[in-house]
Structure 1
Amino acid sequence: MTTRPRLYGGNKVVGVLALGLFGFLAAVFLTSGFGTAEGFADGSITRSIGYAMFNLPGADIASEGFLVAFITIAVVLDAALDGAVMLATRDEEGDS
């Protein structure tokens, strides 16, 4: 026979601290101000991110160039794909 679940009446200080933390975070969130949203000049986020990533002139946002990281990741992913294709192929002389 099963019994009904019972509420654990342990340390009430932890519950009061949790409610106090919730009240503090709610007060901070409600009193914080957000700046006005600004879009890109020509409205093309994709083009601006591409220019910024490859460190080309014409980017609307200032950032570091990530060309070396992009090429390194491309080579590693290409090697992983080649390895997966090699492992997926069957030997012609082996058993099925």
Structure 2
Amino acid sequence: MSDERTGSRGRLVPALTVGILFGVMALTALSAEFGSASGFPADASIVHNVGYALFNLGEYEIATIPAEGFLAAFLIAAVALDVAVDGAVYLAKREKDGSIVAAVGEAFTDGGRDGGER
């Protein structure tokens, strides 16, 4: 099941590439200098400041800390979760004879009782 391309020579180049890439990343991480950690003021609320940044109220000097970086992360996470929910709904739908039916099938909306119009 092996040919000449998948032999030891075919695996050597990717292995060396991964090793060199790991070495470069390790060297970069170990040689980086980080400043001292700085926190936020005790009375500052990140949630309030993200809300102020969301509605562009920072120009009215309501915000106590700059929160635009948090806003970007918040919006990226919101879009990612929205895509995940949309994908789950798309995967949950079923097709019957070429037409799309509800994901829950033929569920009774009246609690399962027979009768009434459907």
Greater strand share, structure number: 2
